[in-house]
Structure 1
Amino acid sequence: MTVTRPDVVPPQPWAFPEPRRHRLSNGMDVLIYPLPGQYVTSTRIALPSLLAGEPQDREGVASIVSRTMDEGTASHTAEELAELFERNGIGLGAGVTEQGMVVELEATTGRFGQALELATECLREPAFDEAEVGRHVRQRLSEIEHERASAASRAAIEWARTFYTPQSRASRPTAGSLETVGAITSADCAAYHAAHVRPDGGAVIVAGDVDEAAVVADLERTIGAWRSENPSAATDLDPRDERDPGSGRIVFVDRPGSVQTEMYVGTLGPDRRVDGGWAPYPALSFALGGSPGARVDALLREDKGYTYGMRTTFRPRRRDGVFVAAGSVRGDVTAESYDLLLGVLEGAADGFTDDETRSAIDYIGKTAPARYATADVVADEAVRLRLDGLGTDFVTGYLQEVQALTPERLGEAWRATLGSWTTVLVGDASEHADAVRALGRGEVTVVD
């Protein structure tokens, strides 16, 4: 019997789900993404309270507030709230970014209304019990010690401190330092919450198999009833983080006896509103360091065997962004690996091949439907873009633009990115710093 194989045809164009838009009586925007079959509803509440609003001697207070809002309220103790969440299968979490606070809520469709009631209670009337705040402060201090012990985390922290001016909030950890977190009290949390955690300018994003009218009604009776008690107390600023003029150098964080060296190399990059469009930058990330076959790993991992893997990425921010290449290499080849890495990045200015371009286009375009297949991922992308002042039509737009990319466009975008490198190496400086100096790639400073 002869079997005729079906023709393989290109996939149809894909678009990010379109939201249904509403506005609550307290002014908060509502974006509803109906996703049939997604019976666990993912809700994100975006509150644009910028990190610049934190007192500098209490940096990290926004993170502590986000972690303790569900640790007791005026209506329920921490234990009672925990029981209510567990009994109803509701998950609540919160965190902060440079652009605001995000409350994450997961619940089955049938428990959606109850989940909103609990989330609204935590937002409106957190108790900030002294014992609970103290516990989370201690946990954060422990995290900081772990971050200092992790070579990758230590490299990222030192890189930000080197890259940005000391006045820039981005130069310091989002969740605070040992000195600032250790000083945070319950009163500090209450004061920050009163001034900055408010519905003004906020949005609620709901993704799942939901009834639109019922969702709006539930939102209106819960979070829509939340009002700012003292909006005039807000002191949110939006200063521009600036690159330090002296950041084009190499900082070697000394770890005596380390058998590996963590590399963190980067420069200034674009934001999502860059002239010419965002499409080339995810493609560049993939072509340079987005897979084992990309240029960095093809040389340092597959050819040389110096690393388990290094990755490159563009990280857009509200204004500007950064390009970063990061990963660990064998300690005994630190200088050679660093030189080879910069050679790959700088050599890319000569251009990209048709095969590299097509591979990046196919990966970004053809995997998009799977990447955005679940309610939580849809909600996460929507809230991330909302805090950046964009809608999810941005995703559809740049995915369409990706299909038209050419090697020439990739080369043009990469050459526009190339600038002086800020480098942090975490490893045994006594063994390898002199070899790095000998490369002549820039001033090398050793720190403990």
Structure 2
Amino acid sequence: MSLVATRPEPGDARPYAFPAIHRVSVAGGEVVAAHLPGQLLATASLLLDAGAAREAPGREGTAGVLAKCLEEGTTTRDSAQYALALEGLGAELSTSVDWDSFRVGVSVPVGLLSRAVTLMAEAARTPRLDPADVARVRDDEVTALRMDWAQPGPRADAALRLDLFGAGERVGRPLHGDPASVAAVTVEDVTDFHGSWLKRPGVLLVAGDLDKLDLKELGAAAFAGTSGTALTPEGPLPVPVAPARRVLLVDRPRSVQSTLRLGHRAPERAHPDYVPITLVATVLGGAFTSRLNHLIREVKGYTYGIRADFAMTRRFGRFGVSSSVQTAVTAPALVDTVGEINRMRRYGVTETELEVARTWRAGSLTVDMQTPGSIAAALATLVVHGLPDDYYATLRQRLLEATVDEVSAAAAQYLHPEGLTLVIEGDSALIRDDLTVSAIGEIVDAEV
């Protein structure tokens, strides 16, 4: 046994290659597949244009209730029979809803994927939707949301979203709804949503050893009994900059902390400046070594952590900062945070900090793309946002080659400290005077 006196230096990064992509049109839908030679597991995911953006006003959360109901059996099997059929393949049904899509997926040994896709399609296309089951699932969701909204955070998030996008836009209301909107969801709402959006073919995403899979067979199973054509996505929302900062107070009496949410509108995910925008966020607040975490946590000791990011969807984006601080330091924490954002906008980034961000982002991309499930998720990004098939094959290199000038220019163009909405969920009686003295922005009481 020997001791190593010095820490080993990292070696050169291994070459990275995204799997080859194959596309097949079948039965009115499209199969988009990634070839993973020798992979014993395979993943299939049905991608449908039935995200939260399709929900009716006042019924936010309908898609989420429907997603949970897919586990309650189909028109030909009850929940126990369906669960046993999945279990017999060693499969588990997964569902998810975001702004842009509704996804249903399975992962199994590659030789069983055809049977698993048939079961997945059965749940997605012909769910039982028994009224008693739908009501129970809805009530469970309401209970979970009430518990969540009793904690700090969701009300602040909702206030920020409403201020940035307005109640007239679906994106101005919470992604999964709130306790009131989900409680208002009826059985008819769920069945109508299913009939309107989940009967369309959609796109089947497949990640696995394609030498052992018949993509046309998989597509035929996934799209059987469907009708309708692909929907034409709406264009991106405008990205206006507010004329002045606003401070929204969400009162939480006797709170010992203030929950902070800062943000403004930003470009959509398919924007050509995605790479430099992502690196701006990484340097500013996307990693433990970021500027905001160093200043607000390490130097000032105001918080355990603070994060900045650009959240981007098909139609809109949002620059945001989130943290929680002790009530007594609410105002100085906000002043310092806005000041750091302003400094980055004015002076850009340094080569030293950008090198860390480039390496971390590129390395994370490589690590994240290791399983069929993660590859299928990447395929979903390509489809939803209309990105080219070689997007991921070149993304890592574009991250590593981004320059200080490019990222600094993105900071100057896409950070708007003067147009931020600052939401504080805390004891307004204790923090209002300090906020007024700080003159950080007009103070408004938010009703959420």
TM-score (norm 1): 0.90
Does the C-alpha gap of structure 1 residues 7 and 143 become closer, same or farther in structure 2, counting only changes over 3 Å?
A: closer
Q: Which residue of 1 aligns with 2:371?
A: 374
- Map 1:129-208 onto structure 2 (within 5 A): 129-200=130-201, 202-208=202-208
Quick one: which amino acid aligns to residue 207 of structure 1?
A
Quick one: which amino acid aligns to residue 369 of structure 2?
Y
Alpha-carbon distance in structure 2 between the residues aligned to 1:199 and 1:221:
13
Shift of 1:241: 4.8
Does the C-alpha gap of structure 1 residues 85 and 285 become closer, same or farther in structure 2, counting only changes over 3 Å?
A: same
Shift of 1:87: 3.3
Shift of 1:313: 0.8
Does residue 326 of structure 2 align to residue 330 of structure 1? yes
Q: Which residue of 2 aligns with 1:400?
A: 397
Give me the CA root mean square deviation: 2.6
Alpha-carbon distance in structure 2 between the residues aligned to 1:261 and 1:392:
44
Shift of 1:390: 2.1
Q: Which residue of 2 aligns with 1:10?
A: 12
Does the C-alpha gap of structure 1 residues 241 and 166 become closer, same or farther in structure 2, counting only changes over 3 Å?
A: farther
Does residue 315 of structure 2 align to residue 339 of structure 1? no
Q: Which residue of 2 aligns with 1:64?
A: 65
Whether the aligned pair in 2 keeps the contact of 1:30 and 1:205 (CA below 8 Å) is yes
Does the C-alpha gap of structure 1 residues 235 and 295 become closer, same or farther in structure 2, counting only changes over 3 Å?
A: closer
Does the C-alpha gap of structure 1 residues 64 and 159 become closer, same or farther in structure 2, counting only changes over 3 Å?
A: same
Shift of 1:180: 3.0
Give CA deviations for 1:97-141 in whole Å, capped at 9, x if unaligned: 221211121222233122112111112211210111011110121
Q: Which residue of 2 aligns with 1:128?
A: 129
Alpha-carbon distance in structure 1 between the residues aligned to 2:19 and 2:410:
29
Alpha-carbon distance in structure 2 between the residues aligned to 1:237 and 1:285:
27
Whether the aligned pair in 1 keeps the contact of 2:246 and 2:442 (CA below 8 Å) is yes
Alpha-carbon distance in structure 2 between the residues aligned to 1:150 and 1:99:
27
Give CA deviations for 1:170-196 in whole Å, capped at 9, x if unaligned: 011222233332232222222221111
Does the C-alpha gap of structure 1 residues 237 and 206 become closer, same or farther in structure 2, counting only changes over 3 Å?
A: closer
Does residue 438 of structure 2 align to residue 439 of structure 1? yes
Quick one: which amino acid aligns to residue 205 of structure 1?
L
Q: Which residue of 1 aligns with 2:3?
A: none
Alpha-carbon distance in structure 2 between the residues aligned to 1:247 and 1:140:
38
How many pairs were matched up? 438
SS at match of 1:31: strand
Whether the aligned pair in 1 keeps the contact of 2:46 and 2:222 (CA below 8 Å) is no
Shift of 1:366: 2.9
Does the C-alpha gap of structure 1 residues 14 and 257 become closer, same or farther in structure 2, counting only changes over 3 Å?
A: same
Q: Which residue of 2 aligns with 1:226?
A: 225
- Map 1:355-370 onto structure 2 (within 5 A): 355-370=352-367
Does the C-alpha gap of structure 1 residues 355 and 86 become closer, same or farther in structure 2, counting only changes over 3 Å?
A: same
Unaligned runs of 5+ in 1: 1-5
Shift of 1:53: 3.3
Does the C-alpha gap of structure 1 residues 237 and 274 become closer, same or farther in structure 2, counting only changes over 3 Å?
A: closer
Shift of 1:391: 4.2
Shift of 1:207: 1.4
Alpha-carbon distance in structure 2 between the residues aligned to 1:221 and 1:54:
28
Whether the aligned pair in 1 keeps the contact of 2:239 and 2:266 (CA below 8 Å) is no
- Map 1:278-297 onto structure 2 (within 5 A): 278-297=274-293
Whether the aligned pair in 2 keeps the contact of 1:68 and 1:133 (CA below 8 Å) is yes
Whether the aligned pair in 1 keeps the contact of 2:235 and 2:315 (CA below 8 Å) is no
SS at match of 1:251: strand
Q: Which residue of 2 aligns with 1:3?
A: none
Give CA deviations for 1:381-434 in whole Å, capped at 9, x if unaligned: 221332122245223333222222222211110110122001111111111122
Does the C-alpha gap of structure 1 residues 154 and 102 become closer, same or farther in structure 2, counting only changes over 3 Å?
A: same
Alpha-carbon distance in structure 2 between the residues aligned to 1:235 and 1:313:
30
Alpha-carbon distance in structure 1 between the residues aligned to 2:116 and 2:243:
49
Give CA deviations for 1:60-110 in whole Å, capped at 9, x if unaligned: 222222221231211001121122223332111222222121112122223
Does residue 271 of structure 2 align to residue 269 of structure 1? no
Alpha-carbon distance in structure 2 between the residues aligned to 1:418 and 1:407:
16
Whether the aligned pair in 2 keeps the contact of 1:168 and 1:241 (CA below 8 Å) is no
Quick one: which amino acid aligns to residue 187 of structure 1?
E
Does the C-alpha gap of structure 1 residues 247 and 97 become closer, same or farther in structure 2, counting only changes over 3 Å?
A: farther
Whether the aligned pair in 2 keeps the contact of 1:195 and 1:235 (CA below 8 Å) is no
Alpha-carbon distance in structure 2 between the residues aligned to 1:237 and 1:320:
12
Does the C-alpha gap of structure 1 residues 297 and 224 become closer, same or farther in structure 2, counting only changes over 3 Å?
A: same
Quick one: which amino acid aligns to residue 420 of structure 2?
W
Q: Which residue of 2 aligns with 1:313?
A: 309
Alpha-carbon distance in structure 1 between the residues aligned to 2:239 and 2:354:
31
Q: Which residue of 2 aligns with 1:426?
A: 425
Whether the aligned pair in 2 keeps the contact of 1:382 and 1:391 (CA below 8 Å) is no
Shift of 1:320: 3.7
- Map 1:68-147 onto structure 2 (within 5 A): 68-147=69-148
Percent sequence identity over aligned pairs: 27
| Range that drifts further, 180-189 or 235-244 | 235-244
Give CA deviations for 1:277-315 in whole Å, capped at 9, x if unaligned: 321122112111122221001111111111111111111
Alpha-carbon distance in structure 1 between the residues aligned to 2:168 and 2:54:
14
Whether the aligned pair in 2 keeps the contact of 1:289 and 1:311 (CA below 8 Å) is yes
SS at match of 1:115: helix
Shift of 1:51: 3.6
Quick one: which amino acid aligns to residue 136 of structure 1?
V
Shift of 1:58: 2.6
Whether the aligned pair in 1 keeps the contact of 2:266 and 2:414 (CA below 8 Å) is yes
Q: Which residue of 1 aligns with 2:31?
A: 30
Unaligned runs of 5+ in 2: 1-7
Alpha-carbon distance in structure 2 between the residues aligned to 1:194 and 1:367:
39
Does the C-alpha gap of structure 1 residues 236 and 79 become closer, same or farther in structure 2, counting only changes over 3 Å?
A: farther
Give CA deviations for 1:251-275 in whole Å, capped at 9, x if unaligned: 1111122121111111122223334
Whether the aligned pair in 2 keeps the contact of 1:130 and 1:185 (CA below 8 Å) is no
TM-score (norm 2): 0.90
Does the C-alpha gap of structure 1 residues 273 and 183 become closer, same or farther in structure 2, counting only changes over 3 Å?
A: closer
